[in-house]
Copies of this chain bind each other. A is one copy, B any other.
């Protein structure tokens, strides 16, 4: 229960309702994409971004296998360009940073494009909507990415956003961190 992925889901499912739009900013194997697709249902839509064709192919297969492919639009592009593909407001955006497990570890999210993607996400977010960012620190560049993110999130306007960090306390030297940003106000 108390790992960052489970906590992200626990928080997201409080906000997302059938018919909503959502974004999986880092599709990977498609598990979060499927989770979001299950929440928005057939009347909703999930936009899923990944730069790796390999990831999108596997995710597509997985989504089809669990019967959740019709709700999803998979887009092979960096998440920093999400505003070129998404032209409507969304209730939730999920980020799961780092590299594709089992894939090429050199291909990973990076602090500067992650921040750009986060800025675009904030623009696309409905009032009352949520962004979750699972950040890992055990790989090269991970600690830097986490620190840049923490600084960015900490400096967000407290009149517009509520931000929290969820950190493991007794899980060794490189525990992942979950950042959550809520846009204040009430959505429809």
Interface string of A115-149 (1 = CB under 8 A from B): 00000000000001010000000000000000000
Kindly identify which residue among B10, B153, B169, B170 contacts A169, using a CB–CB cutoff of 8 Å: B153
Interface string of A58-77 (1 = CB under 8 A from B): 00000000000000000000
Residue of B whose beta carbon sits closest to that of A156: B170
CB distance from A9 to the nearest CB of B (A): 9
Residue A94 is within 8 A (CB to CB) of chain B in the complex? no
Measured in the bound complex, the distance between the Cα atoms of B167 and A150 in whole Å is 12
Residue A57 is within 8 A (CB to CB) of chain B in the complex? no
Residue A180 is within 8 A (CB to CB) of chain B in the complex? yes
Residue A162 is within 8 A (CB to CB) of chain B in the complex? yes
Interface size classification for chain A = 20 to 34
Q: Is the CB of A150 within 8 A of B164?
A: no
Q: Is the CB of A170 within 8 A of B166?
A: no
Residue A111 is within 8 A (CB to CB) of chain B in the complex? no
Kindly identify which residue among B1, B10, B157, B164 contacts A182, using a CB–CB cutoff of 8 Å: B1
> For A7, what are the chain B residues with a Cβ–Cβ distance below 8 Å?
11, 164
| Nearest 8 A/B pairs, CB to CB | A2-B162, A163-B169, A154-B169, A2-B182, A163-B170, A158-B170, A166-B166, A2-B164
A/B interface sample: 25 pairs, CB < 8 A: A1-B14, A1-B128, A1-B130, A1-B182, A2-B162, A2-B163, A2-B164, A2-B180, A7-B11, A7-B164, A10-B11, A153-B170, A154-B170, A156-B170, A157-B170, A158-B170, A158-B172, A161-B170, A162-B168, A162-B170, A164-B168, A165-B166, A165-B167, A165-B169, A166-B166
- For the complex with contacts A1-B15, A1-B182, A165-B169, 16 further pairs of A-B residues with Cβ separation under 8 Å are A2-B164, A2-B180, A10-B11, A150-B169, A154-B169, A156-B170, A157-B170, A158-B171, A158-B172, A161-B170, A162-B168, A162-B171, A163-B170, A164-B168, A165-B167, A166-B166
